Amino acid sequence: MLANWGYQDGSGGYFIVIDTDVCDGCGKCVEACPEAVLEVGEDPADPLRDDPVAFVTEEQRKKLKFTCSPCKTYLTAGGKEANAGSTGVAKASDRKNLPCVASCEKEAITHSW
């Protein structure tokens, strides 16, 4: 299942996508995130699933644009600084360097902005 956690408002759409078919609940993303955006536990979208899975905390789902902004403002891509700057939207090629995305060995996490 692809869980798109986040929101849309007048200024755009901001989603962190977790592929729960691939996520094994290892928790490395939780450690990598400097802002406690992610959590591992009972799957909020599947009450009959027994294994834990990663998801965005209820508190952060509505704030992602602002909470994730520091990580996006300065990204390093192969040693070069890639700045999401005033648009706040990181280039697709740079998003894999975000701490949470990079920490996931199964590549289960992506950012939509």
Partner 1 sequence: MTAHETARAETQQENRELWRWEESRWTNPDIDWKAGGIISAGIDVGSVSTQCVIMVDGELYAYGSLRSGSGGEDSALRGASRALEGTGMTVDDWHYCVGTGYGRVLVPMAKKAVTEIACHGRGANWMYGPSIRTILDMGGQDCKVLRVDERGKIVNFAMNDKCAAGAGRGMEVFCDFVGVPITEAGERSFQVDEEPRAVSTTCVIFAKSEAASLLREGWDVNSVLAAYSLATAQRVVELMQRVGLEPELGITGGIAKNRGVSERIEKEIGMKFNARTWHNPEYAEKEVPFDTQIAGAAGAALFAKALAEKQKGK
Partner 2 sequence: MITAGIDIGGRDIKVLLLQDGKVIARTKAAGGFEQGKVAENLVTKAADDASVQREHIERIGVTGSGKKYAPPHDVDITEIGSIAKGATFVMPSAKTVIDSGAEDSRGLKVENGTAKDFVTNDKCAAGAGAFCESMARALEVSLEEFGKISLTSAKPVPINAQCAVFAESEVVSLINSKTPTEDIARAVNDALAERVVAMVKRIGVEKDVLVVGGLAKNVGYLEALKRGFQTDVMVPEYPEYIGALGAALAASEQ
Single-letter amino acid code for the residue at 113: W
Q: Which of 27, 57, 62, 102 binds partner 1 (CB under 8 A)?
A: 62
d(C-alpha 88, C-alpha 71), whole Å: 10
Helix residue ranges per DSSP H, the chain: 28-32, 64-67, 69-73, 99-103
Least distance between partner 2 and beta carbon 6 (Å) = 11
Answer yes or no whether residue 15 interacts with partner 1 by CB under 8 A. yes
Answer yes or no whether residue 45 interacts with partner 1 by CB under 8 A. yes
Considering CB distances under 5 to 8 angstroms, the limit depending on partner class, which of partner 2, partner 1, none binds residue 4? partner 1
For partner 1, which is the closer residue by CB, 6 or 72? Answer: 6
Answer yes or no whether residue 48 interacts with partner 1 by CB under 8 A. yes
Q: What angle do CA 40, 78, 17 make, to 5 degrees?
A: 30
